[in-house]
Structure formats: structure tokens, C-alpha cells
Amino acid sequence: MPARLTLISHAPTAATRLSAFPADEPLEDSTLANLTTLNWQPPRAHQILTAPELRTQQTAKALNLAATSVPELRDLHYRNWQGCTLADLHAEDPQAIAQWLTDPTSSPHQGESITSLVTRIAAWLDTVATEGTLHTIAITHPAVIRAAILHTLNAPPQSFWRIDIAPLTLTDLRHNGRTWTLRATAIPLAPHDPPQPDHPPQTKKPRQTS
């Protein structure tokens, strides 16, 4: 059965601004105030979902979306790196950062690897495609949206960091009864200032010494 999936990346947080690995931090007061002025009109949907984290639920509420929380949409789990900035972690253990940026199967933070995330989201997309819901809106995380795009395009996990998903942007996927198709991505919900990167920038792999 044909299906449509609209993925919305949550509003920025302090972690976004600081290039830090997110925990379950809330949206900043200024962000919430700006969200209430967007007056965004969502497309008609048959179900509205959100990730379980506070920042996604606050985004949904501020957009006047009555959403149901589902665990499958949770963010990539960084475990030991939660709340830490990229700069601090790189100064402490540059090899671990280089491994994480170049090997999608690795999890030096003792959390979830990128390949595990892609597998999780692929399984969820299969569920969405088979449950018969015509249009689903899901407020979730940039990492989750990247994983959905990788699965849709059958792209290798190494392409994860080559997809830029800014805060408060929309990605549209369609299912024709057989496969998912990417219709549009990174469409801003409303004009806004250029966002801070939602993921740490690429870091050069340290040179090996003999």
C-alpha cells in the first residue's frame, strides 16, 4: 500500500549550539519562544509520532502537534560521550574520535554504532510501510533522519556524515508498495537564521607514528 512519511528534525538545543553530544536536554527558552511564532501549518496526517526525548516532544508541542511517543525514533545513543563537546573529547582521545568518524561499525563511546542505528531505522521503516497508514508525521533527530535516507537510497553507512539535516527541517519519503523513495529533504519549516551544525565536523585522522 502506498505510504508517505514526513520526518521533522527537532528544534536546536544548547548541545547543538556547542557541538556537544546530546543527552536529554530541553529546548532553550528562546527557541521555544521562536517556535510559537512560526505558525506552521502541517500537512494532513493520519498519525503523528515523536521520539521519546524531551527535545522532540517539546518541538512537537510547540508546533501544535499532538504526537505519540515511540521508542523506535529515539536518537543515536552516545552513552559515555553524552553532554561532552567534540573539542574536549578530541583533546582527551583523538584516536577514539577518528575511529567514530571513519568506521560506522565502531562505538568508542560504548553506545550505539551508526550501522546499528541504520538497521534499527530500516526495521521501523518496514513497519511503517506495512501497517497501512497513508501519511505519518514523525518528529525525531537528525541522526535518525540520516539513517532513514541511507536506507531509502541503499547507500553505504560511510555516507552518514555526508547528509546534512538542519534543525526544524522536513524530509519527505514515499513508499509505492515496494520501496521507499526520497522526495525531498532539508526543507525548512520556516525562514530562520543559518543553524549551527547538528553533528560534529569531520576531524582528520591522527597520523600514525612508528
Q: Report if residue 197 sits inside a domain.
A: no
Q: Report if residue 110 sits inside a domain.
A: yes
Q: Report if residue 205 sits inside a domain.
A: no
pLDDT in tens, 142-176: 999 999 999 999 999 999 999 999 999 999 999 99
Q: Report if residue 152 sits inside a domain.
A: yes
Q: Report if residue 209 sits inside a domain.
A: no
Query: Which domain covers residue 32, as residue numbers?
Result: 3-188
Number of domains in the chain: 1
Tell me the C-alpha distance between 29 and 129, whole Å.
37
pLDDT in tens, 43-87: 899 999 999 999 999 999 999 999 999 999 999 999 999 999 999
Q: Report if residue 103 sits inside a domain.
A: yes
Q: Report if residue 28 sits inside a domain.
A: yes
Q: Report if residue 201 sits inside a domain.
A: no
Burial of 141 (0-12, 13-18, 19+ CB in 10 A): buried
pLDDT in tens, 1-17: 789 999 999 999 999 88
Q: Mean pLDDT, the chain, as a whole number? A: 90
Higher confidence at residue 193 or residue 37? 37
Tell me the C-alpha distance between 177 and 2, whole Å.
5
- Cell numbers for 65, please give them: 502537534
Cα torsion for 174, 180, 185, 188, to the nearest 10°? 40
Residue 141 is part of a domain; what is its CATH number? Answer: 3.40.50.1240
The pLDDT value recorded for residue 191 is 55
Percent of the chain scoring above 70 in pLDDT: 90
- pTM equals 0.89
The pLDDT value recorded for residue 145 is 98
